[in-house]
Amino acid sequence: MQSEIYRGYVLWGHAILEQPASPERKRYAASGTVTKAGKFAEASGILGIADSEMNAEHIGLEWARAWVDNHL
């Protein structure tokens, strides 16, 4: 899980490991969460599937930044 501060909000990018169809290929579901002053503001559903944990977290953070930009 990655986090960052953006325009006064704390954003979280999540990577959820899927049950692998094959053990050598891992896939991660991406999602994001937005908080402000320690309180929940919004969370996404599953945003997409990524081949790495880092890419999934990045997708979640991008969604969270866009959410903040659209709700200011």
How many domains, in total, are found in the chain?
Answer: 1
**Where residue 60 sits, what CATH number does that domain have?**
3.30.160
Domain region containing 26: 2-70
Query: Distances from the Cα of 59 to the Cαs of 11, 16, 24, 37, 63, in angstroms?
Result: 12, 12, 23, 23, 6
- For 50, other C-beta atoms within 10 Å of its C-beta total 19
pLDDT value of residue 25: 82
Buried b (16+ CB within 10 A) or exposed e, 5-16: eeeebbbbbbbe
For each of the chain's 72 residues, which pLDDT tens digit applies?
999 999 999 999 999 999 876 677 889 999 999 999 999 999 999 999 999 999 999 999 999 999 999 998
- Give me the pLDDT at residue 21, please: 67
Tokens for 3?
């986090």
**DSSP state, residue 19:** P
